[in-house]
């Protein structure tokens, strides 16, 4: 029996050496490829290993900070963290799926993500220092997206979702600062503003089926505008 377990350990070690990505729970971007900025390039990742399915992705460094999610890369992640660095991060390319760990933006410059998103579980997207700008569409499914600002003493960060937010799930705003919606959203879940300001930058950005709620202290508010005939009318809900 002892010999069996020794052989089993040797086989396991051999598999780990042949396929190190099988053991990788997270992947950190270092932009080391001499060829391009694609996520599928092994040299763009720490230890030259591509992220595996559902890895925890960390973007950091100052090299190839404008990068592309291409067809050769896993597009499903457990979480995305953008570390602070001297260069602005811009992520683009194919649709991304987040299984529940959300997004943590620690960067001191504006981060732009143009990819479409699919949420597989309720999660939190947090900015602590500067703007997180989501250009692509966000499919909530039946999940709740909590959008949190923690930057500065009062969480004074402005975040933006430009793409269409869809699904039966809802949107919750927490922390100070301002979050801006500009897409013709169709999500049908509740819109909850616990703190700070949620602003609609155009008409029709809050679904007709959405409803407003709060945590009872009325510390959050909604600023919006809609079209009546040829006139734009601004308003505020608190």
pLDDT, tens digit only, all 238 positions of the chain: 555 445 544 444 444 444 444 434 579 999 999 999 999 999 999 989 999 999 999 999 999 999 999 998 889 999 999 999 878 999 999 999 999 999 999 998 899 999 999 999 999 999 988 899 999 999 999 999 999 988 654 456 889 999 999 999 999 999 888 999 999 999 999 999 998 888 886 666 666 555 555 543 445 565 554 443 443 334 454 5
Q: Give the C-alpha separation, 115 to 39, whole Å.
A: 13
Give domain status of residue 62, yes or no.
no
Could you tell me if residue 50 is inside a domain?
Answer: no
- Could you count the other beta carbons within 10 Å of the beta carbon of residue 4? 8
pLDDT score recorded for residue 26:
73
Phi, psi of 10 (to 5 degrees): -65, -40
Q: Residue for token digits 């090299």?
A: 63
Q: What is the pLDDT of residue 71?
A: 93
- Backbone torsion region of residue 47, taken as left when φ is above 0, otherwise alpha when ψ lies between -120 and 50, otherwise beta: left
**What's the confidence (pLDDT) of residue 200?**
81
Is there a domain that residue 12 lies in? no
CB 137 within 8 A of CB 116: yes
Cα 59 to Cα 62: distance, rounded to the nearest angstrom: 10
* Predicted pLDDT of residue 204: 61
pLDDT at res. 20: 44
Exposure of 222 in the CB half-sphere (CA atoms within 13 A): 19
Beta bridge partners of 93: 69
The pLDDT value recorded for residue 85 is 82
9, 22, 25, 60, 154 from 178: Cα distances, Å: 54, 41, 34, 25, 11
Which residue has tokens 């049908």? 188
Cα 232 to the chain's mean position, in Å? 32
Estimate the share of the chain in helix, then strand, then coil, as percent rounded to the nearest 5. Answer: 10, 40, 50
Q: Is residue 195 part of a domain?
A: yes
Question: Residue 151's pLDDT is what?
Answer: 67
The reported pLDDT for the residue numbered 144 is 98
For residue 55, is it within any domain? no
Task: Establish if 6 belongs to a structural domain.
Answer: no
Structural domains in the chain (count): 1
- Domain encompassing residue 95: 75-237
pTM of the entire predicted model: 0.80
Do 92 and 69 meet the contact criterion of CB atoms below 8 Å apart?
A: yes
The values of phi and psi at residue 22, to 5°, are -65, -25
C-beta of residue 115 within 8 angstroms of C-beta of residue 91: yes
With respect to residue 61, please indicate whether it lies within any of the assigned structural domains.
Answer: no
Give domain status of residue 28, yes or no.
no
């Amino acid at each position: 029996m002892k010999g069996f377990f020794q052989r089993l350990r040797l086989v396991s070690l051999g598999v780990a050496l042949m396929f190190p990505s099988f053991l990788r729970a997270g992947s950190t971007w270092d932009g080391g490829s001499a060829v391009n900025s694609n996520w599928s390039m092994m040299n763009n990742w720490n230890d030259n290993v591509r992220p595996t399915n559902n890895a925890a992705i960390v973007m950091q460094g100052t090299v190839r900070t404008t990068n592309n999610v291409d067809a050769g890369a896993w597009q499903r992640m457990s979480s995305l963290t953008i570390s602070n660095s001297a260069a602005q991060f811009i992520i683009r390319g194919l649709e991304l799926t987040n299984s529940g760990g959300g997004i943590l933006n620690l960067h001191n410059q504006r981060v732009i993500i143009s990819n479409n998103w699919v949420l597989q579980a309720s999660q939190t997207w947090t900015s602590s220092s500067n703007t997180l700008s989501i250009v692509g569409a966000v499919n909530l499914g039946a999940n709740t997206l909590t959008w949190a600002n923690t930057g500065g003493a009062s969480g004074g960060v402005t975040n933006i979702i430009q793409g269409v937010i869809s699904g039966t799930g809802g949107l919750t705003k927490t922390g100070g600062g301002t979050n801006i919606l500009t897409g013709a959203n169709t999500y049908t879940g509740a819109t909850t503003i616990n703190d700070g300001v949620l602003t609609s930058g155009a008409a029709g950005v809050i679904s007709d089926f959405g409803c407003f709620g709060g945590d009872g202290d009325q510390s959050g508010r909604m600023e919006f505008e809609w079209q009546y005939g040829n006139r734009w009318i601004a308003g505020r809900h608190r």
